Structure 1
Amino acid sequence: MTEASKQPRSTYYQAFVRDKFRCVYCEKDILESFDSFAASHLDHLKPESARGPCEDVWNRVTACGVCNSLKGAYDPVPGEHVTEENFATAVANAKDYIQKKRHGEANTSYFRDYQYWLEESAKIKAQSKR
């Protein structure tokens, strides 16, 4: 029988340690609070919908809930699997995609909806002060 300490660690454990307990996309400290930890995800860097391997550690990354939601089904390495060799490139591609969505450089409903609700809430707050 294999000793527990010599058994391979889970994919989650390996990715979480490799990623230094931070979201690989925005560098949010996942352990800064219980809420941050509870809202974190073990993301498929290459989505299953793009035939990314489910449990390969190079295809799994630590992500905060916001970045994982913004990334969605984006495939950072079309036509390739994520490997140790292209891991940094895949993360950089996904990070760039997410940042463009986050800053309104990509045409997304998230950003449009956010802008709309900022304006609506300002109007409602102004009306309630009258």
Structure 2
Amino acid sequence: MISFSPSTSSNSDASKLTYSVLIESEPDGKFSAVVLGLSDCKSYGKTENEALENLQQLLQKRLQNSRIVTLEIDSPQTDNPWLKVAGMYKDNPLFDEVLADIEAERRKLDAQMEEYYQRIDAEDGVK
């Protein structure tokens, strides 16, 4: 399902739009200003301010015969592959034992790594 709603508001602050603008110094010494995401909205000027003013006028002219709407699209439904196996061992009487074995192995590996890092640090201290 696709739906959209026109952006209408009587609040003057809500009717203001904000754009991110990239200002670049051109090789000829002039400046360019382009609206990020709207590469066709680009202007030039002798100064940064002039380039921005020209861009503002361009945007205002473009928006005179336009309107902004919010487009909402439903995402396609996909099955999560993990849901097929989630909880399949919850009633297994050995589950807690397996978890305990995994935790013990993890602690053993962590201790080995800690010992390894201490040995590396000690060797670095000798150099």
- Higher strand proportion: 2
- Higher helix proportion: 1
Larger Rg belongs to = 2
TM-score, scaled relative to structure 1:
0.25
TM-score, scaled relative to structure 2:
0.26
